[in-house]
Amino acid sequence: MIEREETASLLKQADRHQVTILTGSRQVGKSTLMRMLQERIDIDSAWYNLENPAHLALFNEGYTSFIRQNKAKLVFIDEFQYCPDISSIFKAIYDINPEIKIYASGSSSLEIQSHLRESLVGRKLERVIYPLTFSEWLTSVPDSPAPIPSFEDSVPIDRHERLRAMVSEFIRYGAMPGLLDCEDEIDKREYLQGIYQTYIAKDIKSFLKEESILAFNKMLGYLALNNGTMLNKNTLSTVSGVSSRQIDRHIEVMEGTFVLSLVKPLSRNGGKELTKTPKYYLYDQGVLNAIVQDFRPAQLRVDAGTLHEQFVYWELKKNRDIRYQIKYWRTADGKEVDFVLEKDKELLPIEVKTTWPAGKIPSGLGHFLKQYPDTRAALVLYDGTERTVRHGHTDIFFAPLYKTCRIDSLL
């Protein structure tokens, strides 16, 4: 098993009365993570899986039925969204039985929103579980070059080349934990195709009418082929043949099932910058590759730049806490920076490149620094080695992609 970075903080929540809820897409390891918590917390525990009809029947009978049977002080509830009235049970346990600690998992925030609403305000702690970070994934690699060194530490060239190769492999098949049990390429591709098909067969069918599934598939295929671009709902409506209102619903479902993330634009200078149109990224490169049926290495693909952007975005997303916001920057005349990490109003612009001369400032980044001259640091992530240049009041760090997870020291 891989040690997830969330484990330590989730273990600390064992002493907190609130219901701890783990959400995330299918197959990201929520159940496995709860099993690890069950093993490490030294309290008599019980496990309920609400895909099991017997367990579901117990919860469908309500709070009294559960309390009558359950004797454990630590309770794990997997796939709790299958119980329509689960929120009332959580609320009753919280209010009446403060000695019982609950960890619960569900696959969709749409389901969770419909079950938990206002009744659990102040009674729950929510944590989104994502596919593996690059650092977590590296721990599964034989003779791993982990851990990732900090920005203050230079990387020997042989280790640098090894980490570059690992990034390429990570991008090719993605970060779903179940891949670690796959022995060869065919197994990996079948596993990823299975996740995609199950998502359509279960999650989507539970939220959309049958006649909308074909339109949703068309939209999803288009989004996969254009991953990392600005979201154009008019184009999506034309491609899928449905109304803009249905497109809004489809996007809501994709966000709610954690397979798509929207990135809002940074806007502080009025009419000079885009203010509304988000960019989007699908959640896992391996699943995306299964949708578009292209598992070639990034260096052989015309969308190599987008693949690297995807890697950087999700490393930022997985490794950052609530203090950080991820945005992008684009002006009305097309000047752009891939990402801007914001913390307490301080900005860190991040440009992602593939092959790029070390020390050369990308034009979009240069324009950003003219608009925001007080920016303390900027970052260019690419395939090369490390270098730092001074530009006005800003230190611009050139660093390899694999150091994305270590940027906290820059902001």
Percent of the chain whose predicted confidence (pLDDT) is above 70: 96
Sign of CA dihedral 268, 272, 276, 281: negative
Sign of CA dihedral 197, 201, 206, 208: positive
Task: Kindly report the number of other CB atoms within 10 A of residue 236's CB atom.
Answer: 22
pLDDT number for residue 271: 66
Domain limits, the chain = 7-128, 136-410
How buried is 156 (Cβ within 10 angstroms: 0-12 exposed, 13-18 middle, 19+ buried)?
exposed
Fold of the CATH domain 7-128: Rossmann fold (3.40.50)
Does pLDDT of 269 surpass 90? Answer: no
SS3 category, 224: helix
Percent of the chain whose predicted confidence (pLDDT) is above 90: 71
Q: Kindly report, residue by residue over 173-188, the tens digit of the pLDDT.
A: 999 999 999 989 999 9
pTM equals 0.93
| Mean predicted lDDT score pLDDT of the chain | 91
Contact 66, 92 (CB under 8 A): no
pLDDT number for residue 22: 94
Q: Kindly report, residue by residue over 19-68, the tens digit of the pLDDT.
A: 999 999 989 999 999 999 999 999 999 999 999 999 999 999 999 999 99
Q: Kindly report, residue by residue over 323-380, the tens digit of the pLDDT.
A: 999 999 999 889 999 999 999 999 999 999 988 999 999 999 999 999 999 999 999 9
Q: Kindly report, residue by residue over 110-129, the tens digit of the pLDDT.
A: 666 666 766 677 888 989 99
For the segment 142-159, the average pLDDT, to the nearest whole number, is: 85
